[in-house]
């Protein structure tokens, strides 16, 4: 209040009440959020919460704005609010925890223990700075430890993994392999003694099943000779229902990919289907040809030919590696002045013929940031497909 708003506590109280009264005239549900509540003076918090509830607030949000609180003290704060705000039963207690100290989920769960019934959280824990409380971790903690929390979210947990992957693809933020619940290694048991236990009885080391979050234990699904009907059934099992036109497009891409690689995995299908659901980036430039020359004693050189409005444009460039040379060749053709902000390539599946997914972020002269991604069994081709239309 003193440094950001430069107003007194009385002015804050008056403004909060006025804002809530006005909002309540417009809609039946109004949330009042007290920024940096975890570091605020408790007596003032009690007072302002009481007054805004009187004014019509139906949800009281208690944020740990900078991720400073420890679980025990944050839980106690929620308990104290319940005990010291006389009309608190007229409002829902919500919390909004940041992860600066890695405690966003722990603080949220402690808040639930002490009376909070709304948790503000995000898929994959994305958010500013170190992120927010992770939705999937909170949901599965409540589901796995019902003996402690006695709460139900009514969330279909089998959709967690597919949604997590979709958010990752849309945002360009890669999920760390050891991320709880949705990370690549979340259900991987490498230690011999663990593997032996899993083979004898899965519950020895698995407190939840991969299937409970929508991850199939065997991701190998289809092969080169699989037909349209088999593909349709598998997509429906994965939660995708496509109309005839989209199914035909997906099937064409599936057959094209099956000609390139021996085995098709769920991750491959997700990459194909997501383009139909999200929508393909319009191909302003179409990659027609590329040739790259590189080696440990050769200056990396890339030659690229693009189609633009039925006209062919070709150029070549040298660079610090094949990717840099490719990007420079494309820049020479398109004449766009952009700066590469982030670049990432990852294998979608296992095996030597796995598809590579390239994700790039670029910034134009006005400071606008654009994200693009593409997949191919040839990672250099994925880079070129991506960079030519981002």
Please determine, for residue 4, whether its predicted confidence score (pLDDT) is greater than 70. Answer: no
- pLDDT for res 215: 80
Intra-chain end-to-end CA distance of the chain, in Å: 42
**What string of DSSP letters covers 226-279?**
--HHHHHHHHHHTT----HHHHHHHHHHHHHHHTT-SEEEHHHHHHHHHHHHH-
DSSP code at position 301: E
62, 93 contact by CB (below 8 A): yes
Give the integer Cα–Cα distance in Å for 374 and 81.
50
Give the integer Cα–Cα distance in Å for 273 and 241.
10
- pLDDT for res 200: 56
- pLDDT for res 224: 74
Q: Which residue has the tokens 């909004």?
A: 96
| Residues 126-183: tens digit of each pLDDT | 999 999 999 999 999 999 999 999 999 999 999 999 899 889 887 878 899 899 999 9
- pLDDT for res 385: 66
Give the integer Cα–Cα distance in Å for 222 and 263.
7
pLDDT confidence bin for 83, thresholds 50/70/90: very high
User: Among 107-111, 177-181, 198-202, 367-371, which is the least confidently predicted range?
Assistant: 198-202
- How many other CB atoms are found less than 10 A from the CB of residue 54? 13
CA dihedral defined by 62, 63, 64, 66, rounded to 10 degrees? -160
Give the integer Cα–Cα distance in Å for 349 and 357.
10
| Residues 255-295: tens digit of each pLDDT | 888 888 777 887 788 888 877 666 566 667 888 889 999 88
- pLDDT for res 146: 95
Alpha carbon 316 to chain centroid distance? 37
User: Which range, 12-21, 288-297, 359-368, has the best average confidence (pLDDT)?
Assistant: 12-21
């Amino acid at each position: 209040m003193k440094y950001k708003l430069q107003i007194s506590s009385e002015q804050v109280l008056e403004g909060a009440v006025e804002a809530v009264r006005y909002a309540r005239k417009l809609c039946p549900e109004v949330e009042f959020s007290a920024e940096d509540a975890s570091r605020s003076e408790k007596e003032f918090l009690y007072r302002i919460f009481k007054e805004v509830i009187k004014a019509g607030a139906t949800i009281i949000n208690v944020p740990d704005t900078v991720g400073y609180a420890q679980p025990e003290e944050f839980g106690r704060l929620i308990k104290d609010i319940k005990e010291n705000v006389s009309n608190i039963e007229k409002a829902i207690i919500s919390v909004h925890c940041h992860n600066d100290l890695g405690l966003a989920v722990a603080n949220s769960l402690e808040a639930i223990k002490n009376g909070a019934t709304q948790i503000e959280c995000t898929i994959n824990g994305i958010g500013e700075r170190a992120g927010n409380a992770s939705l999937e971790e909170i949901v599965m903690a409540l589901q796995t430890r019902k003996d402690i929390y006695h709460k139900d979210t009514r969330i279909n947990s089998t959709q967690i993994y597919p949604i997590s992957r979709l958010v990752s693809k849309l945002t360009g933020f890669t999920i760390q392999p050891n991320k709880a619940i949705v990370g690549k290694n979340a259900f991987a048991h490498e230690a011999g003694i663990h593997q032996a236990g899993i083979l004898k009885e899965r519950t020895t080391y698995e407190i939840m099943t991969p299937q409970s979050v929508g991850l199939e234990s065997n991701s190998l699904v289809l092969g080169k000779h699989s037909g349209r009907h088999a593909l349709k059934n598998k997509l429906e099992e994965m939660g995708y229902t496509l109309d005839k036109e989209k199914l035909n497009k997906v099937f064409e891409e599936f057959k094209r990919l099956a000609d390139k690689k021996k085995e098709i995995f769920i991750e491959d299908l997700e990459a194909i289907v997501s383009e139909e659901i999200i929508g393909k980036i319009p191909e302003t430039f179409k990659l027609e040809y590329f040739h790259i020359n590189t080696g440990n004693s050769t200056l990396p050189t890339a030659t690229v030919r693009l189609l633009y409005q039925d006209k062919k444009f070709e150029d070549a460039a040298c660079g610090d590696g094949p990717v840099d040379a490719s990007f420079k060749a494309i820049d020479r053709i398109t004449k766009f002045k952009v700066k590469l902000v982030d670049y990432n390539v990852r294998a979608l599946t296992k095996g030597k013929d796995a598809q590579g997914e390239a994700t790039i972020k670029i910034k134009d002269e006005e400071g606008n940031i654009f994200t693009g991604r593409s997949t191919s069994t040839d990672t250099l081709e994925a880079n070129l497909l991506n960079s030519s239309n981002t």
